[in-house]
Amino acid sequence: MATNQQRREAAKRKLERQLARRAERARRRRIIGVGVTVGAVVVVAGLVLILVTRGDDNAQANAPSSSSPATQDINIPTQRVAAPKRPQPLPNPTTCDYPSSGEAAKPVDKPKAEAVPSKGTVKVTLKSTAGDIPLELDRSLAPCTVNSFVSLAQQGYYTDSTCHRIGTQGLQMLQCGDPTGSGSGGPGYTVPDELFEGLSYGRGILAMANTGAPNTGGGQFFMVYGDAALSPDYTVFGTITDEGLKVIDKVARAGHDGSFDPQPGGGKPNMDVTFTDVVVKS
């Protein structure tokens, strides 16, 4: 028969075991709670689809992306979207305003601001290490933006610059136009927004980035090759040819390094896209 002392010691050991089990259950509940909270934050963040810029002129696309972007399967739409058209034509010619903004990533002169044409198109070929990407700029959509882009191209601003980011999930676009390659460089001035009712984005659309505030575009632009559920806050100034889209599709399928995950999403393309020359044919 156990003595009183033995019974007390047995009861003490039992209580210690119970307290230890309770502490372990509490610890597990805390871990699960933290995991659920973090998961919810990631899901909510992944659903945000906006393009913003850092510093003077940095376009970042917030979109859901895979933790293994280099090996993910990418579903790319094959159907182009129709290029938008203004409900009412702009005065021709028009006047533009290019306010100074920060230090230029590469020295350039501001584009002309007077007698800027708002009719006609300009053919541009982005010659890159991944292949040629022909564009057609439309002055009737955004004459001030086209005027600035052509000026920068002719001054060599884009030559030797690298497309620093690609999005492959949610917002499918290739982002370029920063000579520093960091996503924070601009031309030293801003370009006015040229928005209109009914503006939308999708495969084949060429648009400008901004800081998220009105009239803060600069030199950076993004080329949409697939899905792009964006609010109409980004100036569309042209389209990408089918030949150019094939090159961007190839770059997208090569994946990215995930350097912009989880927010704003995407990363530097695994396939280098450096512009060796930009040819303008008016």
Whole-model pTM? 0.78
**Beta partners for 171?**
228
Q: Which residues contact 61 (CB under 8 A, 6 or more apart)?
A: 49, 50, 51, 165, 167, 171, 173, 175, 222, 264, 265, 266
pLDDT in tens, 129-177: 999 999 999 999 999 999 999 999 999 999 999 999 999 998 999 999 9
109 lies in the same domain as 7: no
When pLDDT is averaged across residues 11-22 and rounded to a whole number, the result is 61
How far apart (Å, rounded) are the C-alpha atoms in residues 144 and 121?
13
Statement to judge: residues 27 and 100 lie in one domain: no
Question: Looking at the chain, which runs of residues are DSSP E strands?
Answer: 51-52, 60-61, 121-128, 131-138, 165-167, 171-176, 205-208, 221-228, 236-240, 275-281
Q: Which domain holds residue 256?
A: 49-282
Q: Has residue 254 got a pLDDT over 90?
A: yes
Supply the CATH number for residue 69's domain.
2.40.100.10
Q: What is the mean pLDDT of the chain?
A: 83
Helices (H), the chain: 4-46, 143-154, 242-253
**217 contacts 145 by C-beta, under 8 angstroms:** yes
| 68, 90: one domain | yes
pLDDT band (50, 70, 90) for residue 68: very low
Could you give the 3-state DSSP secondary structure of residue 223?
strand
Shared domain for 40 and 66, answered yes or no, is no
pLDDT > 50? residue 235: yes
108 and 225 assigned to the same domain: yes
Is 66 found in the same domain as 15? no
Do 54 and 72 lie in a common domain? yes
Q: Verify that 86 and 179 share a domain, yes or no.
A: yes
pLDDT in tens, 82-117: 999 999 999 999 999 999 999 999 999 999 999 999
Strand 205-208's sheet: what is its strand order? 165-167, 171-176, 221-228, 205-208, 236-240, 131-138, 121-128, 275-281
Instruction: Tell which of 9, 26, 46 closes a domain.
Output: 46
CB 248 within 8 A of CB 174: yes
Same domain for 136 and 184? yes
24, 59: one domain: no
Q: Is the per-residue pLDDT at 122 higher than 70?
A: yes
Tell whether the model's pLDDT for residue 47 goes beyond 50: no
Q: Same structural domain for residues 142 and 278?
A: yes
Structural domain count, the chain: 2
Say whether pLDDT at 273 is over 50.
yes
> What average pLDDT does range 27-56 have in this prediction?
39
pLDDT for residue 211: 84
Confidence of residue 13 (pLDDT cuts 50, 70, 90): low
Q: Band of the pLDDT at 36, cuts 50, 70, 90?
A: very low
Please state, as a whole number, how many other Cβ atoms lie within 10 Å of the Cβ of residue 54. Answer: 14
Backbone φ and ψ of 240, nearest 5°: -105, 135
**Statement to judge: residues 30 and 133 lie in one domain:** no
Q: Per-residue pLDDT tens for 242-253?
A: 999 999 999 999
Is 163 exposed, middle or buried, given 0-12, 13-18 or 19+ CB atoms closer than 10 A?
A: buried
pLDDT band at 212 (very low <50, low <70, confident <90, very high): confident
**Pairing relationship of beta strands 60-61 and 51-52 according to DSSP bridges:** antiparallel
Given this model, what pLDDT does residue 282 score?
75
